[in-house]
C-alpha cells in the first residue's frame, strides 16, 4: 500500500505543481521541491490547502485540467463566490463511481438491492455521487432526491426499496412521517440505511435502528476530496475504512500543524492521490478524528478513521449543508434596518435540523405597520436561502434583547444533542 501511495503521491505533486498556479506559489513560498519527495514521511514538509485557498481560487482556479477535459462540476453551498468549486474529468467520475461502489459494498449493499437515493441531486455531491456508485455496483437506483417525504415512503413501499441513502436525521424524519400515516415497516423490504453528510451520534444510530427495520451504516466524504466515497463503515462498525489507495489521510494538531501519531485525535487532512480535475494536497478538512492502523476484524487492511463528531472551526452542518456564521452575518449586514446583533440557534425538531436566526430590529427602522415588519422578515429569509441554500426561520427581536458580551460574541447556540459522538 505504501509503495502505491508514494508512487501516486509523487505523480500528483508534480501534476499539481505544473497545473495549479496557486499551489505552485505555495510550494515555492515553502521552499519545497516536488521532485525531491523520497518517502511518505516527506509529506509533512508540504504546505496545507485550506477551504479558503479553494475559495480564493473561485471559480476554476483549483481545476488542474483544461475545461474540455472536465465533464462535471460540483460545488459546496454558497452562491456569492464563497463557494468551493471542484471539477471532475471522465476518469474522476469513473473513479468516484468505483469508490462509491466500494463504499456501498462495504456497507453491505449488493446488486440485488433497490437503493433509494434521498440525498439532494445537483451541485451537492451527495445525490449524484451515490447514484453512480450504486449503478456501478449493479443495484437498482431510485433517484428520489430530497423532499416530499410521504411520497418517498410510498415509493419505498411500492418499489420494494431495500436500502435507503440519506442524512441520518432525515431517516428519523421518515420514520416519524411513516408512523403518523400508519405505515407498517414490516410490510416493506427495507433492510439497510447508508447515512452520511452530517455528524451523528451512537445514540442516534440506536434510535434509527429502533424506529426503522434497518442496520444503519455511516459513510464519509466531502466535495473538496471527491464527495461521498472517501470512507465507509464495514459490518464491524468500529471506525470508517478510508480508501487510502486514493486518499492519503493524516491527523494533525490543528493549532501547530504538526502530524500526530496514530490514535490521537486531531484535524483530518487528505491528499488526493489519483484525482485529475481538482487534486488537493494536504487538504485541511476541519473535521476532528483519529486514525487507527490496527487490522479490522472484517479483514480489510484499509486504515480506519473515528467517526467525525466535531470540527475545528465554527462551520455548522445543517441537514448536510455547510453553513458558516459569517455567511449569515454578511446577509444581515446588507439590510438597513437590522442591528448587527444576532444569534444563530440550531435546533432539532422532528429529527430535522432547524436554523433560527434571531435579529434585533433597529429602532430607526421599526415600522408601525405589521406588514412592513413581516416583509422585512420574509426578505431576510429569502436572502439567507439564496446564500445558504437552506431555509432559515428569522425571528425579529426587540433592540438590546440579546446578551452583550465583552469578548468574542457567542453567535451560535447549538441545541442539537451532542453526546455520544466520538
Partner 1 sequence: MKQISVFLENKPGSLYGVLQKLKEWGVNLRALSLADTAEFGVLRFIVENPEAIVAKLKEEQFAATLTEVLAVGVEDRPGGLCDVVEILTRAGISIEYLYAFVSPQGEKAYVVLRVEDLESAKRVLKEKNIPILEELPL
**Can you give the binding site for partner 1, defined by CB under 8 A?**
361-363, 365-370, 373-374, 377, 395-401
State which residue, 152 or 343, has the beta carbon closest to partner 1.
343
Question: What whole-number distance in Å separates Cα of residue 315 and Cα of residue 353?
Answer: 14
CB 84 within 8 A of CB 51: yes
| Dihedral pair phi/psi, residue 229, rounded to 5° | 115, 5
Question: What whole-number distance in Å separates Cα of residue 197 and Cα of residue 323?
Answer: 13
State which residue, 59 or 363, has the beta carbon closest to partner 1.
363
CB of 401 to partner 1, least distance (A): 7
Question: What whole-number distance in Å separates Cα of residue 3 and Cα of residue 300?
Answer: 18
Question: What whole-number distance in Å separates Cα of residue 157 and Cα of residue 185?
Answer: 9
CB of 356 to partner 1, least distance (A): 11
Nearest CA to 216 out of 229, 235, 231, 230 is that of 235
CB of 119 to partner 1, least distance (A): 32
Contacts of 30 (CB under 8 A, 6+ apart): 45, 46, 47
State which residue, 370 or 403, has the beta carbon closest to partner 1.
370
State which residue, 324 or 366, has the beta carbon closest to partner 1.
366
CB of 398 to partner 1, least distance (A): 5
State which residue, 29 or 369, has the beta carbon closest to partner 1.
369
**Cis preceding-peptide flag for 59 (omega within 30 of 0):** yes
CB of 361 to partner 1, least distance (A): 5
CB of 359 to partner 1, least distance (A): 12
State which residue, 296 or 373, has the beta carbon closest to partner 1.
373
CB of 341 to partner 1, least distance (A): 12
The continuous run of DSSP H or E covering 242 comes out as strand 240-242
State which residue, 371 or 408, has the beta carbon closest to partner 1.
371
For 264, the 3-state DSSP assignment is: coil
Question: What whole-number distance in Å separates Cα of residue 262 and Cα of residue 250?
Answer: 9
For 167, other C-beta atoms within 10 Å of its C-beta total 26
> What is the DSSP secondary-structure string of 193-234?
EEE-SS---HHHHHHHHHHSSSEEEEEEEETTTTEEEEEEE-
Please give the grid coordinates belonging to residue 376: 422585512
Question: What whole-number distance in Å separates Cα of residue 125 and Cα of residue 223?
Answer: 6
CB of 229 to partner 1, least distance (A): 43
Nearest CA to 301 out of 236, 242, 251 is that of 242
CB of 396 to partner 1, least distance (A): 6
**Helices 21-30, 2-19: inter-axial angle, 10-degree rounding:** 110
Half-sphere exposure of 168 (CA within 13 A, CB side): 23
> What is the DSSP secondary-structure string of 68-104?
GGEEEEEE-S-SSS-S-EEEEEHHHHHHHHHHHHHHH
Please give the grid coordinates belonging to residue 136: 456501478
State which residue, 373 or 421, has the beta carbon closest to partner 1.
373
State which residue, 121 or 366, has the beta carbon closest to partner 1.
366
Q: In this structure, what DSSP letter does residue 420 have?
A: T
CB of 140 to partner 1, least distance (A): 45
State which residue, 329 or 381, has the beta carbon closest to partner 1.
381
Amino acid at each position: 500500500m505504501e509503495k502505491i501511495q508514494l508512487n501516486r503521491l509523487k505523480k500528483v505533486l508534480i501534476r499539481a505543481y505544473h497545473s495549479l498556479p496557486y499551489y505552485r506559489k505555495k510550494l515555492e513560498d515553502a521552499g519545497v521541491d516536488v521532485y525531491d519527495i523520497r518517502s511518505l514521511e516527506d509529506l509533512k514538509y508540504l504546505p496545507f490547502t485550506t477551504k479558503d485557498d479553494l475559495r480564493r481560487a473561485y471559480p476554476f482556479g483549483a481545476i488542474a485540467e483544461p475545461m474540455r477535459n472536465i465533464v462535471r462540476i460540483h460545488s459546496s453551498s454558497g452562491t456569492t463566490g464563497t463557494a468551493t468549486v471542484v471539477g471532475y474529468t471522465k476518469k474522476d467520475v469513473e473513479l468516484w463511481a468505483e469508490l462509491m461502489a466500494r463504499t456501498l459494498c462495504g456497507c453491505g449493499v449488493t446488486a440485488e438491492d433497490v437503493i433509494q437515493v434521498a440525498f439532494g441531486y445537483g451541485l451537492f455531491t451527495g445525490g449524484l455521487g451515490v447514484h453512480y456508485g450504486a449503478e456501478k455496483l449493479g443495484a437498482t437506483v431510485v433517484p428520489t432526491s430530497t423532499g416530499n417525504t410521504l411520497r418517498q415512503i410510498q415509493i419505498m413501499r411500492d418499489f420494494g426499496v431495500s436500502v435507503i441513502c440519506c442524512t441520518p436525521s432525515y431517516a428519523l424524519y421518515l420514520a416519524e412521517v411513516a408512523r403518523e400515516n400508519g405505515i407498517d415497516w414490516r410490510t416493506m423490504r427495507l433492510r439497510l440505511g447508508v447515512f452520511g453528510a452530517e455528524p451523528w451520534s451512537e445514540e442516534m444510530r440506536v434510535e434509527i435502528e429502533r424506529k426503522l427495520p434497518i442496520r444503519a451504516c455511516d459513510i464519509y466524504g466531502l466535495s473538496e476530496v471527491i464527495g461521498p466515497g472517501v470512507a465507509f463503515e464495514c459490518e464491524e462498525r468500529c471506525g470508517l475504512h478510508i480508501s487510502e489507495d486514493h486518499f492519503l489521510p493524516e491527523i494533525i494538531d490543528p493549532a501547530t500543524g504538526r502530524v500526530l501519531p496514530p490514535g490521537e485525535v486531531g484535524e483530518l487532512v487528505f491528499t488526493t492521490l489519483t484525482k485529475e480535475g481538482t487534486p488537493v494536497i494536504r487538504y485541511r478538512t476541519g473535521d476532528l478524528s483519529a486514525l487507527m492502523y490496527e487490522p479490522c476484524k472484517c479483514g480489510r487492511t484499509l486504515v480506519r478513521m473515528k467517526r467525525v463528531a466535531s470540527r475545528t472551526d465554527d462551520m455548522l452542518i445543517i441537514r448536510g449543508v455547510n453553513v458558516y456564521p459569517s455567511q449569515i452575518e454578511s446577509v444581515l449586514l446588507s439590510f438597513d434596518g437590522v442591528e448587527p446583533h444576532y444569534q444563530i440557534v440550531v435546533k432539532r425538531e422532528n429529527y430535522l435540523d432547524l436554523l433560527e436566526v434571531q435579529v434585533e430590529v433597529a429602532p430607526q427602522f421599526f415600522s408601525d405597520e405589521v406588514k412592513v415588519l413581516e416583509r422585512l422578515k420574509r426578505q431576510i429569509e429569502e436572502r439567507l436561502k439564496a446564500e445558504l441554500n437552506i431555509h432559515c426561520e428569522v425571528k425579529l427581536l426587540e433592540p438590546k434583547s440579546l446578551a452583550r458580551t465583552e469578548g468574542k460574541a457567542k453567535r451560535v447556540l447549538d441545541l442539537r444533542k451532542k453526546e455520544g459522538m466520538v
